[in-house]
A and B are shown apart, each in its own frame.
Chain A
Amino acid sequence: DAGVIQSPRHEVTEMGQEVTLRCKPISGHNSLFWYRQTMMRGLELLIYFNNNVPIDDSGMPEDRFSAKMPNASFSTLKIQPSEPRDSAVYFCASSLVQGQETQYFGPGTRLLVL
């Protein structure tokens, strides 16, 4: 299995631009998570999908952030407009079922907003 796939691996953009991050979960996994990692705040859960449905988006910082999961094999996290404080590493993770199952992380997208 290829594991969780994320693209792009690195993104540099200017303040105000739209940023779209992409994720392909492990085949057969029905739970998908988007996390943000910074030195100051560590790993933060942004949003959780189960069976393609957003279950908990309480971690999404503000309306500039949105996430979609149109099918079981693809999800996007969009930031519009981006701001310098959005600079972080964004991880996608998937797990087999909801609940006490291991979450497997992708390699992350390192975002820098200038």
Chain B
Amino acid sequence: GESVGLHLPTLSVQEGDNSIINCAYSNSASDYFIWYKQESGKGPQFIIDIRSNMDKRQGQRVTVLLNKTVKHLSLQIAATQPGDSAVYFCAENIGSNYKLTFGKGTLLTVNP
């Protein structure tokens, strides 16, 4: 989900479990979505993207699901590892517009 102000939503999982991070996007006209991972002290790193003509896309250990009906995006991480600990952002884009609108982020903590 999204947050307001200083508090990020947090998700704490055990190493080896599957993680699901959710994002409610704002604009029903958005047709391109990206998930970024940001580790402490680093810039956002591209993970996976999906266009609105798809409802699922898989990468290495990650799957993105898109539900346009309820404007919901999720990122599933299989067999979560300590190195997956980071803040995860979803971003949305409309048409050929260059602007990405970022969510507030979710902090994922993986416990060994």
The chain A residues found within 8 Å of chain B, CB to CB, are 4, 31, 33, 39-40, 42-43, 45, 48, 50, 55-56, 91, 93, 95, 98-100, 102-108
Contact = CB atoms under 8 A, between A and B. Distances in A.
B88 to A, nearest CB: 13
21 contacts: A45-B99, A50-B98, A56-B98, A91-B44, A98-B96, A99-B95, A99-B97, A99-B98, A100-B31, A100-B93, A100-B95, A100-B96, A102-B34, A102-B46, A102-B49, A103-B46, A105-B36, A105-B45, A107-B42, A107-B43, A108-B42
A31 B6 contact: no
Contacts of A98: 96, 98
Contacts of B5: 40
A104 B96 contact: no
B8 to A, nearest CB: 9
Contacts of A56: 98-99
B62 to A, nearest CB: 15
B51 interface: yes
Given A104-B46, A105-B44, A39 B96 contact: no
Contacts of B6: 39-40
Nearest to A43: B102
B2 to A, nearest CB: 10
A13 B36 CA distance: 30
Contacts of B102: 42-43
Q: How large is the interface on B (under 10, 10 to 19, 20 to 34, 35 or more residues)?
A: 20 to 34
Interface in B44-74: 44-46, 49, 51
Interface of B: 5-6, 31-32, 34, 36, 42-46, 49, 51, 89, 93, 95-100, 102-105
Most buried by B among A48, A56, A103: A103
A100 B46 contact: no
A55 B95 CA distance: 17
A34 B103 CA distance: 17
Which 7 residue pairs across A and B have the least CB separation, nearest first?
A105-B43, A99-B96, A100-B32, A43-B102, A105-B44, A108-B43, A107-B43
Contacts of B42: 107-108
